[in-house]
Amino acid sequence: MSEIIYSSTRNAEEKVTPSMAILKGLADDGGLYVPNRIPQLDVSLKDLAAMDYKQVAYEVMKLFLTDFTEEELKDCINKAYDSKFDTDVIAPLVKADGAYFLELFHGATIAFKDMALSILPHLLITSARKNNVKNDIVILTATSGDTGKAALAGFADVKGTKIIVFYPKNGVSPIQEKQMITQRGDNTYVVGIHGNFDDAQTGVKNMFNDKELEEELAAKGYQFSSANSINIGRLVPQIVYYVYAYTRLLGNGNEDKDDEIAGEITDSEKINVVVPTGNFGNILAAFYAKNMGLPIDKLICASNENKVLYDFFSTGTYDRNREFKLTSSPSMDILISSNLERLIYLIAGNDAAANATYMKSLSDSGKYEITADMKAQLEAFYGNFASESETASTIKRIYDNTGYIIDTHTSVAASVYKKYVSETGDDKKTVIASTASPFKFTRSVMDAIDKDKYDQMSDFELVDELSRIGNVAVPAAIEDIRTAPVLHDRVCDKTEMKAMVKGILGV
């Protein structure tokens, strides 16, 4: 198998191995690491259909992480996809409302971030060993709600690491916040900032690019790495579940006759994929899967009222100069979709200099406009958005019609999917990425179903009621925080993030 090398989206000269790309997270010039080619699946879809999640993960990830030995990669996979997940299949597909919901929330923190953040600590520690790194790794990350808890859970008490998570103090759900501020682990630190997610993300990026801070950390035996979706150690594991979902729909002919999913498609039949999208990593993983040879036709990019991506796909102009809206789908309340840079690089002909110009324009003026030729290369994408009222009404409609309860982010995707079908008449089988458990956004979900009935209930009374009406057990992640003490109460201004990090690390 030929080796994959990663280079920066902003400097073609900066080239690293897969393990070094994972270790560094962000390139020295602020660019993101991209593979020199997207490898092709080398196992047939039928053969993959006979494999379990861990086996599929190995067959996909080995193609991108070519400097990992088989033993190293399988060890990482086996440690990640274990009893932390409440189902052996890891990512079940549920048929409802004319689509297939890919439930990516069965991990420790009941959101799709677990799919990658369960394995990232193991990939990172393995990468450090491979590159003879002696420093402690400081994971520095910004979260719009889900990444933070999933990263904290993944890295808690992992030897040789510390993790510092920044989140917008008033920009996450009560349950998301409670999950983070009750996190155990002597190496975990959580800080609320007065600002929004984009402020937190910008502050983190600035620290990664601060050479003086890097030297100060090194003198104390530390170096930064990232758990955000900009790290290819996050992106590569996300490709896996799209391949897995397709092969579950395909089936291998040996399934139980009661399995309503297997055999729904024929070999090489194209499907569509809908992804609720904020930072663009999750839908980019689906795009990579498509380019690996997975028969995906349309990539349907679903935005909430912060519809910067919808506007981009409609016009070819990315413009973050707009009002930032707090919505009921806070993990998508993002105006700077960092992973879009990897797509821009690709459609610019893998031209790092051209991409760097676009990113400089985004930094300086808050916007950039791609060429007509680049826009033509986005034919596989369809963008649309759902308003707050549409998001709520879709949750209610699907529950009333099917009894199936989805969270707000998944509802954004389901709403946009209906718009897509209405506009195009395209009735291909469709997988909707269900990115969070409804228990994570209980109040918004229950308000959507019947606000008058549930308005006076406490958050945890709503949890129990959701369990009852949805006929699903309360996840362990929620039970754990009912009585958990608050362990993290740091709050700072967005301008004080660097000082906070130095204080935590004693630098």
Candidates 480, 488, 466; CA nearest to 108 is 480
Tokens representing 268 are 């090489």
Candidates 329, 346, 26; CA nearest to 202 is 26
Candidates 166, 157, 174, 159; CA nearest to 198 is 166
Amino acid at 192: G
For 169, counting Cβ atoms within 10 Å of its Cβ (0-12 exposed, 13-18 middle, 19+ buried), the class is: middle
First vs last Cα of the chain: how many Å apart? 44
Predicted confidence (pLDDT) at residue 258 exceeds the cutoff of 80 = no
- In 10 A of CB 3, how many CB atoms? 9
pTM of the model: 0.92
Predicted confidence (pLDDT) at residue 44 exceeds the cutoff of 80 = yes
Q: What is the pLDDT of residue 256?
A: 66
Q: Out of 146-150, 186-190, 281-285, 409-413, which region has the weakest mean confidence (pLDDT)?
A: 146-150
Predicted confidence (pLDDT) at residue 253 exceeds the cutoff of 80 = no
Contact 61, 237 (CB under 8 A): yes
Predicted confidence (pLDDT) at residue 227 exceeds the cutoff of 80 = yes
Q: Which residues of 399-438 are buried (b: 16+ CB within 10 A; e: fewer)?
A: beeeebbbbbbbbbbbbbbbbbbeeeeeeebbbbbbbbbb
pLDDT in tens, 430-471: 999 999 999 999 999 999 999 999 999 998 999 999 999 999
Coil/strand/helix, residue 326: coil
Mean pLDDT of the chain: 95
Q: What is the pLDDT of residue 478?
A: 92
Predicted confidence (pLDDT) at residue 1 exceeds the cutoff of 70 = no
Q: What percent of the chain has pLDDT over 70?
A: 99
**Across residues 110-115, what is the average pLDDT?**
94
pLDDT in tens, 490-504: 999 999 999 999 999
- Banded model confidence at residue 147, pLDDT cuts 50, 70, 90: confident
Amino acid at 478: I
At residue 434's C-alpha, the angle toward residues 197 and 377, to 5°, is 75
How far lies 391's CA from each of 377, 388, 427, in Å?
30, 5, 22
Candidates 120, 169, 174; CA nearest to 143 is 169
375: annotated active-site residue: no
Q: How far is the C-alpha of 499 from the C-alpha of 164, rounded, in Å?
A: 13
Q: How far is the C-alpha of 394 from the C-alpha of 407, rounded, in Å?
A: 10
- Banded model confidence at residue 47, pLDDT cuts 50, 70, 90: very high
- Residue 293 φ/ψ region, left for φ over 0, alpha for ψ in the -120 to 50 degree band, beta for the rest: left
Q: Which helix (H) or strand (E) holds 35?
A: strand 33-35
Among 113, 149, 205, 418, the active-site one is 113
For 314, counting Cβ atoms within 10 Å of its Cβ (0-12 exposed, 13-18 middle, 19+ buried), the class is: exposed
Contact 413, 449 (CB under 8 A): no
Q: What is the pLDDT of residue 329?
A: 95
Q: What is the pLDDT of residue 319?
A: 98
Q: How far is the C-alpha of 306 from the C-alpha of 367, rounded, in Å?
A: 15
Identify any residues that bridge with 15 across adjacent strands, giving them in sequence order.
7
Q: What is the pLDDT of residue 145?
A: 81
**Across residues 230-234, what is the average pLDDT?**
93
Predicted confidence (pLDDT) at residue 360 exceeds the cutoff of 90 = yes
Q: What is the pLDDT of residue 178?
A: 94
- In 10 A of CB 218, how many CB atoms? 11
User: For residue 461, what are the contacts with CB-CB under 8 A and spacing of at least 6?
Assistant: none
pLDDT in tens, 460-475: 999 999 999 999 999 9
Candidates 110, 152, 189; CA nearest to 474 is 110
User: For residue 163, what are the contacts with CB-CB under 8 A and spacing of at least 6?
Assistant: 138, 139, 141, 151, 152, 155, 156, 185, 187, 188, 189, 227
For 87, counting Cβ atoms within 10 Å of its Cβ (0-12 exposed, 13-18 middle, 19+ buried), the class is: exposed
Identify any residues that bridge with 256 across adjacent strands, giving them in sequence order.
none
**Across residues 247-272, what is the average pLDDT?**
86
Predicted confidence (pLDDT) at residue 257 exceeds the cutoff of 70 = no
Predicted confidence (pLDDT) at residue 65 exceeds the cutoff of 90 = yes
